[in-house]
Chains A and B, each alone.
Chain A
Amino acid sequence: MPLIRNFAIIAHIDHGKSTLADRLIQHAGLVPDREFRDQLLDTMDIERERGITIKSQTVALPYTAADGQQYTLNLIDTPGHVDFSYEVSRALASCEGVLLLVDASQGVEAQTLANLYAAMEHDLEVVPVINKIDLPAADIEMAREAIDTELGLDGDDALLCSAKMGTGIEEVMAAVVERLPPPVGDADAPLAALIFDANYDVFRGTIVSMRVMQGTVRAGDVIRTMSNNVTYKVEEVGFFRLEREPRKKLSAGEVGYLIAGIKTVSDTRVGDTITLDKAPAESILAGFTMSKPVVFSSIYPVANDEYPSLVDALEKYSLNDASLEYEKDSSVALGQGFRCGFLGLLHLEIVQERLEREFDQSLIMTVPSVEYRIHLNNGTEIAVDNPAYYPDPVAIDKVEEPYIRASILMPERYMGVVMKLCMERRADNTNFTYPSPGRMEFTAEMPLAEVIFDFYDRLKSVTQGYGSFDYDLIGYRTGDVVKVDILVNSEPVDALSLIVHRENARARALQACEGLREEIPRQQFRIAIQGAIGGKIIARKTINAFRKDVTAKCYGGDISRKRKLLEKQKKGKKRMKMVGNVEIPQKAFVAVLKTNNE
C-alpha cells in the first residue's frame, strides 16, 4: 500500500476550511507564492464573489513526514453551508479521516455538529482543530470545553492553529499522517472505484472524480459503469493538483480523475461504481443516499426556442451537482421548462446563477414553494409543491405544511427587530440564549414557506448584515393556506400562482401585482393586473395606456435611426412572454419574488 492519507476538512460555514487548505497547499509547495491567492480552491467566480465554498475540491499534496517518508495527502475542502451538506457527505465517502475545524471565537455551531455526525456515520477518524486562535475574541478554553461537552470528543486532543497567520500548520500536517489511518484495499483485486463527482468538458467529455476502493485502473483499460453496464476505453487517469496531473495508474486507496471520452452525459451517475470490463468486481459499492429537496421552483428559458439548450445545460450541470432534482414542467405563459427541487434557498440561487453563468442560460424562475401535504375529503393524501397542481379548495379537507426550527445568531441589539420580523412570519415557541456576551441566539418554530419568501434578505437588512440564519426541518403541521392566482387583463398567468397562508394572501397578491405593474412596460392599451382566490379578486393594479408616443420629425436621416430603434425594440419583445395580448418581460417574473424592503 502506498503512503497515502485521504481526509476532508469539515466545519461550520466560515470557520476557515478553505483558508486552512490554502496553508496546507502552500506548505506542500504546490504553488509559487506570487501565483497564490486566498481561498485558492474556491475556483468558481460565484464562490469568490460570495466568499463561500459551494463545491468540494480535491487536491493531492506531497508531504515528507518527520521520519523522512514521502506521503500523498489527498485533501478535500468542503462547503460549510447546510444547503451543500450533500457535497460533504460525498467527500466523506472517499476519506478515512477528517479535520473538524472549530472557530475559536465562535465555538461549536449547527453545522459543526451536523458534519461531525456525518463523519461518524462513515466511521471516520476525527481530529478536532481549533482555528482562528489569532483573533482577539478567540477563547481557546471555551472551544476545548465545547469540543468536550457538545461534540463528545476530547478537547485536549484538539490542535491549535491560525489558518490566516499560518501558525500550527506543520502540526496539522503531521497529525494527518500520525492520527488518521491509511486507506485499506487490495491493489490487485478487481477494480471497484466510487464516482463521487463529475463535470463536463467540451473537449474531453465527462471527467469523473473517483476514489479507488480496490484494484487498479490504467490508461487503455476498458472500464464499465456498473449501474448501466456501459463500457468506455480509459484515455487518462491522474491526480488533482490544482490542475489535472496525469499518472500511469490509480490504485486502491487513491483519489483522482478519469477521462474516457464519455460524451453521453447521462452515462455517468454520481455514486456509481467503475470496474474493469474484463475482470469486473463482484458487487456494486454503496452509493450515496439522495438528500430530499425542500424548496421547489420551475425554471423556464426566457426565449422559448432556447428550451433545447436548457435541456442540455441542465443535464451537464447536474453531473456537477447531483443534489439537484428536476423533471419536465410546462406553463401556458412560459412554455416548456422544468420543475426543480433544491436543498435550500441558497442552493436555488446558486443553481440559477451557475446555469446562467457557466451555461449561458437566460432563465425565468417561478415563485419558490414548499411541499404541502393535502388531505382530500375522500380520505386520500397528496403532496403538492407546484401551485399548478393545487386541488380545487372544495375538495380539500386540510392542508399540512413543513415547519422548521429557525436559529438566528446576532448581536443583542437587533433582538427587537428580528423578533418582530419572525412574528410577522408566524413564528412560534420562540426562545433565546446568550452564547457569548453581547451575542444572542434566537430560535423559533416557523413555517418553511415563510422563510423561502425573501426572509433572508429581510433578516440581513434589519440586522445590517450581522444576523446569520440556519434552520432544521421539524415536521408538518396543519396550516390555513390558499392558492392565489395572478391575472393580467383577465388571463391567469399560471407561472405566477402562489400558495400562501390565508392571512398573507392579500398582501402577497398586492406585492405581486405591484411588482408586475412596475416591470410590465406601458402598452397602447390599459392593462389590469389582479390577484384572485378562486373567482374572488383580492388585489388590483392598473397600468395606464400610452397617451402620446410619437416623435415629431421623420425625414432623410431620421428614417434609419427610427428603424434601428424599432429593430432593437422588436428584439427585446422576442424575449418577452405573451399573456393574452400583453407582453411581460423576464424582469416582471423576478419582481414578483421580491418585496419592497419595508
Chain B
Amino acid sequence: MSDDPDGGAPAGLYVHVPFCHSKCPYCDFFSEVGSGLQSAFVDAALREAEHHAAGRGPFDTLYLGGGTPSVLSPDGLAALVEGLGRVCSFTPDAEITLEVNPDDVTPRVAKLWRELGLNRISVGAQSFNEDELRFLGRRHTAHGALRALEAVREHGPPNLSIDLIYGFCGQSSTSLRESIDSAFSFAPDHLSCYQLTLEPRTVFGRRHARGELQRLGEEEERTCFLIVADAIRSRDFDHYEISNFARTSLVRSRHNQKYWCHTETIGLGPAAHSYRDGRRRWNVTDVADYVERVRGKGDATVGSESLTQKQIRLETLLLGLRTANGISVDFARTIDSGLDIVAALVHEGLVTMGGGRVTPTLQGFLLADGLPLRFDLE
C-alpha cells in the first residue's frame, strides 16, 4: 500500500568508501583518516557484493560515495569497479556515479575515470570562496576547485554534478550567489546544495554546544534557502528535492531517487544501509571490523528493522513531501481526513494539486520537516 512511483524499478547499488584525507569539521559521515586498509576494503567490498548483490539485479545505478572514493588509488578504484562489474549485473544504461574531492582531481585521473566506464562525477566543491573553504576546513582552494572542474569537464565522464554547502555565519548573500555562478560556469548537469547542519557528533557540533559557533537564525536560513532556490530555478533547473537540482528531469540523480521511493538499494561497505521490501539493514561502522566480518561470512550487518505498514506509510509521506514527486492523491485518500488536510495545506500555500499528485511548493519545501505531522496516520 505504499505510494512508490517506481516501486518496480531496478535496484540500486551503493558502495561506501570509508576513507578521507582529513576530517571536515561539519561532516558526520563515517570515514577514517590515514587508514592502511584500502586494498583490504576493496577485497571485502567485492566479497560482500558476492554475498549480497550477486544474485540480484540487474542494477541500473552504481553509486560510489563516502567518505571520499577518490582517495582510492587508480588501481584500487579500478579493481573495485571492474570487480563489481564481474560480480553483479548492470543494465546497459546504468548510471555510475563517483564522488570526488577537488584535491584528488587531475586531468590524468579524470580520463581514467571515464575509461573505467563511470558516467557521472559528483565534485565536492562546497564553495568557490577562499574564506568559506577555510571555514569549512576543506583541503582545496577556490582555485583548486576551478582547476578540478576544468579537468573533469575536459577529460572526465560526461555527466557533472557539483556539491555546495551554504548558510553559515560569515557567508554573504553575494558570495553565495557568486559560488552558484561559478558552478554554473561549468554547465553542470546537476547541483546539490546543502544548508549547513551543525551535527552533534562533529567538531562544529561541539563548538556550537560550547557557544563558540552560532547557527544562523531561522529567518536568515530561510533567506539563504530562497536565494539558492531562486538562483538555480531561474536557470530553468528542476528543483526536484529540497537540496537537489537537475538541468532537466532526465539528469536527476537516478540513484538518490531510489531512497525517496522505497526502491530496493543494496549498500556495501561500512555503515552502509540497504533497503528491500520494508526491511532496512545496516553494516558495522568500523573499517577493520567490517573487513573482518566480511572475510568471515561475507556479511557485516549489525542492525536491521522491519517496517510496519504504518511506518512505511509514514516514510512515504516524509520522503514524498521532500521531493517534487510529492505523494499521490490516492495515497492521501487512504489517510483519515487526508484530503481535508491536503485542502488546508493548499490553502496555506504549502502544496499544490495536479495530475493526481500532491506536490510541495517552495514554501512547502521550507517547512517539509513538519508536513508529515499534519497528517494522522492512525
Contacts and interface: CB of A to CB of B under 8 A. Distances in A.
Interface of A: 523-525, 546-557, 559-560, 562-563, 566-567, 569-570, 573, 581
A550 B218 contact: no
Contact of A563 (B242, B311, B371): B311
A573 B370 CA distance: 12
B280 interface: yes
Nearest to B285: A557
B122 interface: no
Contacts of B348: 524-525
7 contacts: A523-B370, A546-B218, A546-B370, A548-B366, A550-B242, A550-B322, A566-B373
B282 A563 contact: no
B316 to A, nearest CB: 10
Interface stretch (B66-74, B104-112, B151-159, B266-274): B266-274
A524 B344 CA distance: 11
B184 interface: no
Interface string B229-268: 0000000000000110000000000001001100001010
Nearest to A581: B344
Interface stretch (B45-53, B81-89, B219-227): B219-227
- Ranked nearest first, the 10 interchain pairs of A and B with the lowest CB-CB distance are A556-B273, A548-B222, A552-B194, A550-B368, A552-B195, A557-B273, A549-B369, A547-B222, A548-B366, A548-B221
Contacts of A567: 311, 314
A546 B374 CA distance: 14
Interface string B359-378: 00000011111111110010
A548 B318 CA distance: 16
Contacts of B318: 554, 559, 562-563, 566
A551 to B, nearest CB: 6
B372 A524 contact: no
B214 to A, nearest CB: 16
A547 B197 contact: no
A198 to B, nearest CB: 40
A551 B215 CA distance: 13
Interface in B172-203: 194-197
B305 interface: yes
A567 B350 CA distance: 22
A558 to B, nearest CB: 9
A392 B159 CA distance: 74
Given A548-B218, A548-B221, A524 B280 contact: no
A563 B315 contact: yes
B197 A524 contact: no
B259 to A, nearest CB: 5
Contact of B197 (A523, A525, A553): A553
B284 interface: no
B184 to A, nearest CB: 20
A202 B272 CA distance: 51
Contacts, number: 90
B14 interface: yes
A557 B319 CA distance: 13
Given A557-B271, A563-B314, A563-B318, A552 B242 contact: yes
Interface of B: 14, 194-197, 218-219, 221-222, 225, 242-243, 256, 259-260, 265, 267, 271-273, 275, 280, 282, 305, 311, 314-315, 318-319, 322, 344, 348, 350, 365-374, 377
Given A550-B242, A563-B311, A563-B315, A556 B272 contact: yes
Given A559-B315, A566-B318, A524 B369 contact: no
Contacts of A554: 242, 259-260, 318-319, 322
A581 B282 CA distance: 39
B14 A573 contact: no
Nearest to B305: A560
Contacts of A523: 370
Contact of A553 (B243, B272, B273): B243
Contact of A556 (B267, B350, B377): B267
B161 to A, nearest CB: 14
Contact of A550 (B14, B259, B315, B367): B367
Given A566-B314, A581-B344, A560 B280 contact: yes
B192 to A, nearest CB: 9
Contacts of A553: 194, 197, 243
B256 A555 contact: yes
Contacts of B305: 560
B189 to A, nearest CB: 19
Nearest to B312: A563
Contacts of B371: 524
Nearest to A570: B373
Contacts of B377: 570
A551 B369 CA distance: 7
Nearest to B348: A525
A514 B319 CA distance: 36
B319 A548 contact: no
A443 to B, nearest CB: 51
A547 B366 contact: yes
Given A567-B314, A581-B344, A556 B265 contact: yes
A259 B121 CA distance: 81
A431 to B, nearest CB: 54
A556 B377 CA distance: 23
Given A524-B348, A525-B348, A562-B318, A552 B365 contact: no
Contacts of A550: 225, 242, 322, 365-369
Contacts of B272: 556
Contact of B259 (A525, A556, A566): A556
A549 B370 contact: yes
